[in-house]
Structures are given as C-alpha cells and as structure tokens.
Chain A
Amino acid sequence: MSRSFRAELVKLVRRPAAWLLLAITLALSLIFTYLFPYAGVAGGADGPNTDRALPAMLPDHLVGNSLGGLPVFLGAILLILGVLVVGGEYGWGTWKTLLTQGPTRLQVYAGKVLALAVAALAVVVAVFAVGAVASALIASAEAQPVRWPSAADLLAGVGAGWLIATMWAMLGAVLAVTLRAVALPVGLGLVWMLAVQNLLAAIAAPLVDWVATAQRGLPGPNAGALAAALGAPGDTPGVAATVGGGQATVVVAAYLVGFAAVGAALLRRRDID
C-alpha cells in the first residue's frame, strides 16, 4: 500500500489541475474571508454582513475564519479533487494500466484515499497559513493587537478542517467510482453541495419537520455545525450550529469512513472496462 500511496502522491503533485484547485481555494478563502470584509470596513459600508467588523478579521479569529468556507464552497473544491483523483483513472482508461502492473484494486484505492487525506491536510494548513498572514497584515495596518489562538485551538481547528475537507474529498471519490466518470460526479456533487443542501436548509427544513430532523444527520449541516462549534462566523453559508460539536465530529467522521468504504466495495466488485 505504501508503494501505491507514493505513486498516487507523485501523480497528484505533478498534476496541474491539483495546483489550480489549491490556488482557487486560497484565493476564495482570502477574498471572501478577508478582502471583501476588510474593504467593507475600510469603506464604512452598511450591509447585511457588516457585523463582521474589524475584530472578526484579526488573528485571534483565525480558526473560525479558516473553517468557515469548508462546509460549502471550499468543500466543493475538495469534492472536485476527490473526483479528479479517482475518476481520472476512468476518464483516461488508466485503471487497466495500473492494475496490470500487479497491485490489487484495494491497494491502489487505499493509496488514493491516503493521498487525498494528505492533500486535504495540505489544503487546510494552507488556508490557515494564508489566513494567518492576511489577519496579521490587517492587524498591522489597523494598529490592532496581534493575539494568536492557542496551539490547542489551532490543532483542533486544523483537525476539524481536515476532517471536513477529507469527508468531501471522499464523497467525490465515491461518486467517481459509482458513476465511473469525471464530469457527471463533479456536476452532481456540486448540485448537491451548492443547491440541494441550501434548498433543504432554507426552504424545506422550516416547513417540514422530518426534513429538519433529517438535516441533523446530513454531511453538510454537520460539517457546518463542526465549523460553527470552533468559531466559524454564523453568517457564512452552510455554517450553523444545528447540532453540537461532538455529534458533528462523530457524524462527519462516520461519513468520511462510510464514503471511503463504499467506494472500496464498489471498486472491488465491478469490472474494469
């Protein structure tokens, strides 16, 4: 398995699309967490999100600010990465090339899962790092005190971020195995994350009790609740304390394991065309 993991890591690092996704992730995080809010503060604008004032952009809010995008927008990018890593083998027809070299399907799949987990950690750490630089610059520009979160809070934040990011990447992986493609899993995954989840939360849940109850077991709301529990701003799309942090952690971890296991079972069972 370690050979497969190393091979998958090399493929991921050499793949231009992976770097493009990382760049988009960091740009989105920077723009929506710091750039626009800071522009609003600097310009003295009034609006629906003006409660996110200067103190919310300072280093002591680094953990919450870094996690805010993961339940929806940054999570969607991780889902795309998961689809690319697994679905690319279907798109290029390279499963047969890999498997005729001798590794079993599960060895290759485990290598991919581990590579995605490492990539998710790298993305989350990069988001924290960019956020740290941005918040420090804002604090410096506004002559505000720089107070960093404790190491334990940072560690918990990175851990929670990794859990959410890896879960979305695994959803991408299982969709790719299920649909044996790239485009359709990306499309369906994004529709779920960006449209259906929001419709359920904003329209269906307030009207129908069982939808509101079901929400508490879905991956998106639990990811949002986990981010909220660690200080993500409540006005961020997808972030809401619908359940407690402990339950959210367990549910997100269960989805992560479940998605990975279903993908492995399907890949092992099906023919490679």
Chain B
Amino acid sequence: MNLPVQTEGLSKRYGGLTAVRDLDLTVRPGEVYGFLGPNGAGKTTTLRMLLGLVRPSAGTVRLFGRTPGAGRLAGVGALIEGPAFYPYLSGRENLRVLARYTGVGADRVALVLDLVDLADRAGDRYSGYSLGMKQRLGVAAALLKDPRLLILDEPTNGLDPAGMADMRTLIRRLGAAGCTVVVSSHLLGEVEQVCDRVGVIARGRLVAEGSVAELRGGAGLRLLADPLDEAAARARELVGADRVRVVDGGLELAVEPDRAAWLNTELVGAGLAVRELRPRERDLEQVFFDLVERGTADVA
C-alpha cells in the first residue's frame, strides 16, 4: 500500500546541529495526523523535507510511494511556516498565479476562496490583509489542487478564536471527506481536538506516536470516599495493593472504568460514603511535557 507519508531514518544536520534525527514517520490514508512538539523541535524542518524544500542529510521520504522528483507533489497541498504571497497582487490574483503553475482552473480558485471564507475580500491587495486573512489565503492555496494529502504547519497561527474553530472544523471536514491531513502544532488542545493520531517530536526525535488515548496512558478511576484511609484499605483488598494510590486527597485506581459500578457497590456495602467515582484521564499536557522531557534527556 502506498502510504501518504512514509519516512525512514530521516535526518537533517546543519553543521554541528542535528535538527532532525532518524525519524521514522508513517501517516495512514484518511487520518488526521498531529505532529506535536515544542518550538524548535524540528517539526517545520521535517515538513520541509517531506515537500522537497530541504534536502535530507540522510534517510528517505516517500509521499504516496513516490521518492523525490518531478510530479512528487501531485495531490499534495501544503502551508509551511506561515503564508507568503506577492504583496502587489490581490488574494484572488495570487491564487490565480499559483493556479497557472499547476493548470488549476479559475473555478477552483473561487471555490477555495469560498471555503476559507475569503471571497468577499479576495479582490483586496494581499499587503492589506490581516494576519488571519493571510493565514486563510495560505490554506486556500494549499487546497488549490484538491489534495489527497494536506500538510499544514501551525495552521491556526494568527487566527482569532472563531477563526481557530473554523480551521478545526475545516480540518475535520477534510479528514471526514477522506483527505489525509498532517497538522503540526505546539498547541496540545488543537491537536487533541482534531487528530486521530499524534506524533510527538522533541530535539529532532520522534519520542512517541499513537492515538491521543494511547498517549494519555492506561485508563483508571478516580475515587473520593470517607473515611479515606478505610476506603484505601478496602480498595486495595478489592483490586490489589499495587493498583491503588492516594493522590490529592482521593484515590487513583488503575482498573478499567467499566468496573466502577461493581466497585461502588462493594465500597458502599462496606459502609463507606462514596462521594465521587469517575474515569480518570491523564492530563495530555502532562503527558506531553513528560515525553518532551524524556526525549530531551535521551538526546542529552
């Protein structure tokens, strides 16, 4: 199967600095893949290598099974590190010029302008656009070829909250329509809301990859009950001592959430007052910082 994105041992060195090292990245057809990492982690360099803008120092890149060369970006749209257009042309003229390079028709230009809600201002000069409008024009350019793979580098930069919500909706809609989307971001919430799978990069290395749920780690339950020490003792008898921890005035139980009803019955039956019993999720932000810290320590 020709995967939308597949890299093997991808590395990029600038003199003594290794920006990306031994990156094995796989993006499956139709998924929205989040490429997450702090600023300077190597996200943009990686995306530039995918698009042939930067030559890898080592490793290979394949987009839909094609290695670098003419025509490799057929069916691929991208917005890399902020929008860049000709300031003396209008938004529409900019897209028409780009469309000429690929033979895309004027009707497609009108369609993508509508799609990013820029049709009303399409006749204005690009130099007069706000940052948000420039960003939307950048997304419109990325959509010009009706891509099967869309690569968006920090697509919500410069957008107001409504614009960010619109962008997330657009990404979800494209994903639902079968377009494979790679979204890089340093914003956890953004990735969490739109992505099927996430790759976390730190200091140029992929330190974790999986669904958001997988990254959060194993499931569990959070229990508040009185008296706490008796509840802890009873819980240890029921699920095992190694699965019970006292955290922040409550208990964290490393058990499947579907055992909550059984556990509640047992605790109440033992005369304990159960105030709260709910599924526990690890905070993604904490997961992210743990991964980045671990990745940084490994490199050091």
**Chain A residues proximal to chain B, CB less than 8 Å:** 3-4, 6-7, 10-11, 14-16, 88, 92-104, 107-108, 271-272
Asked whether A100 lies within 8 Å of B84 as measured between CB atoms, the reply is no
22 residue pairs A–B, Cβ–Cβ below 8 Å: A3-B102, A3-B103, A7-B97, A7-B101, A11-B97, A15-B88, A92-B85, A92-B87, A94-B85, A94-B86, A97-B83, A97-B84, A98-B98, A100-B51, A101-B73, A101-B98, A101-B101, A101-B102, A102-B76, A103-B101, A104-B70, A272-B48
Which of A7, A94, A96, A271 lies at the interface centre, i.e. has the most chain B CB atoms within 10 A of its CB? A96
Partner of A99, one of B53, B86, B88, B100: B53
Asked whether A96 lies within 8 Å of B144 as measured between CB atoms, the reply is no
Q: Give the number of chain B interface residues (Cβ < 8 Å).
A: 37
Q: Closest residue to B69 on the A side, CB-wise?
A: A104
Asked whether B54 lies within 8 Å of A271 as measured between CB atoms, the reply is yes
Hey, which chain A residues are within 8 Å of B83, CB to CB? Answer: 97
CA of A93 to CA of B84 in the docked complex: distance in angstroms? 6
Are A102 and B101 also in contact (CB < 8 A) when A92-B86, A96-B81, A97-B85 are?
A: yes
Partner of B73, one of A4, A6, A100, A272: A100
Asked whether B74 lies within 8 Å of A102 as measured between CB atoms, the reply is yes
Which of A4, A88, A100, A272 lies at the interface centre, i.e. has the most chain B CB atoms within 10 A of its CB? A100
Confirm or deny: B77 has a beta carbon within 8 angstroms of a beta carbon on chain A.
yes
Are A14 and B89 also in contact (CB < 8 A) when A96-B80, A271-B55 are?
A: yes
CA of A142 to CA of B273 in the docked complex: distance in angstroms? 116
Hey, which chain A residues are within 8 Å of B89, CB to CB? Answer: 11, 14
Interface flags, B135-157, vs A, CB<8A=1, else 0: 00010011011000000000000
CA of A103 to CA of B141 in the docked complex: distance in angstroms? 14
Hey, which chain B residues are within 8 Å of A96, CB to CB? Answer: 48, 51, 53, 80-81, 84
Q: How far is the CB of B123 from chain A (nearest CB, A)?
A: 14
Which of B48, B84, B87, B100 lies at the interface centre, i.e. has the most chain A CB atoms within 10 A of its CB? B100
Q: Given A101-B73, A101-B145, list of 12 further CB < 8 A pairs?
A: A3-B102, A3-B103, A10-B97, A15-B86, A96-B80, A97-B84, A97-B85, A100-B51, A100-B78, A101-B141, A103-B101, A104-B70
Asked whether A102 lies within 8 Å of B71 as measured between CB atoms, the reply is yes
CA of A88 to CA of B87 in the docked complex: distance in angstroms? 11
Asked whether A100 lies within 8 Å of B77 as measured between CB atoms, the reply is yes
Hey, which chain A residues are within 8 Å of B138, CB to CB? Answer: 97
Q: Closest residue to B87 on the A side, CB-wise?
A: A92
CA of A95 to CA of B102 in the docked complex: distance in angstroms? 15
